[in-house]
Amino acid sequence: MESIELFAGAGGLALGIAQAGFQHKFLLEKDRKACQTLKLNQNFLFKDTLEKQIIQSDISTFSFDRVKNNISLLAGGPPCQPFSRGGLHRSYLDRRDLFPQLLRAVRSLQPKIVLIENVKGLLRKSFTEYFEYIILQLTYPKIVIKSDETWIEHLYRLEQYHTKGKVKGLHYHVVFRLLNAADYGIPQKRERVFIVGIRSDLNLEWSFPHPSHSQDGLLWEQWITKQYWEQHKIPCPQCPEQLIPRIKRLESRLFPPEHQRWLTVRDTIHDLPEPKEEDNQSIPNHTLHNGAKIYPGHTGSPLDEPAKTIKAGVHGVPGGENMMQFADGKVRYFTIREAARLQTFPDHYQFEGSWTKILHQLGNAVPVLLAEKIADHLQMSLRSIESQHD
């Protein structure tokens, strides 16, 4: 099953898709350092593929006409800045809004499945119309905007076509979901929108994978069975006062939570040595970077919870997402290796660039394990319909 990824970045989504069994035809990325990271890891990204194509290009100037149409999966996360809470919120007025380019690729390649990832801010009330516009364009990619038409006029035309109900030609059945990565075994509270479009002629039944982990599961093992602290061989601390009512409700249950517990920062980095300022030759990218500070609202990620969302920034990131906070209140920055683990990159994965550049790559990445779980769910569904036609 061949796949293509656009806006590949450091390769989180691409690696997860490859691990799910898809074979990338090529990865497209504009940033030079990100492309260097992809090339360092091409043997993991292009499993069982002789031709390893990492294309450094602006998608706006890239022609998809040279690509054969037999693509099972087209994936990508267009730049999130037009919709991010930390951005200017300019949506379709932002020149970095590259959803139109992704939809151009869909029209040209007509893949069986389209997988899109973006920030939670895409679902904000102020973007409601534009989000509907994205969904309807993906549903009917052949109904393109006219040269004398505004996007809102195009939206009205798409709505009319959609409600008419007489659909001809290429179209997709589209579903979307806001997923919290922590609910799928990723040690990070990372909420992202995933959009899946399935080509209508496949008659494919599909739904997002069910969550496997929960906060209740973590609280149960921390404050009721105390297994969490025993596992890490540390004394059980006093339960935070604000959690006591919830713990009492959990204790009243006859059975433990059905889901596994959320994974924490401590779970993720417990076997790494404390980083030093000089390079650690045995553990690449595990070097201490000084300068982490606490100030109001900028407190870092507690060790015994999933991390806050790793973000594409370093100094002054709201909430201190790229720092860890110890029980005594002290903080330090995550090393590159620690941040990569929180994004579920394997330890053999290498990164190219300065500390700031790499954290930017990591903050923009999709957690590898979450990408793999969604892609595996898609791949199994495709396999099932293929076996029916054998």
Helices and strands (DSSP H and E) totals, the chain: 13, 12
Q: Which two tokens stand for residue 20?
A: 């799910």
Q: Which helix (H) or strand (E) element contains residue 368? A: helix 368-389
CA distance 268 to 303: 10
Whether 333 and 292 have beta carbons less than 8 Å apart is answered as yes
Using a 10 angstrom Cβ sphere, with 0-12 exposed, 13-18 middle and 19 or more buried, the burial of residue 8 is buried
How many other CB atoms are found less than 10 A from the CB of residue 94?
15
How many residues can be counted in the chain? 390
Show which residues are catalytic.
80
HEC profile of 121-188: HHHCHHHHHHHHHHHHHHHCCCCCCCCCCCHHHHHHHHHHHHHHCCCCCCCEEEEEEEEEHHHHCCCE
CA distances from 4 to 12, 107, 253, 357 (A): 14, 14, 47, 24
DSSP readout, 219-267? HHHHHTS-HHHHHTT----PPPGGGHHHHHHHHTSSS--SSEEPP-HHH
Tell me which residue of 103, 95, 115, 234 sits closest to 177, measured CA to CA.
115
Give the count of alpha carbons within 13 A of 78, CB side only. Answer: 23
Whether 114 and 74 have beta carbons less than 8 Å apart is answered as yes
- Cα dihedral sign, 162-167-171-176: positive
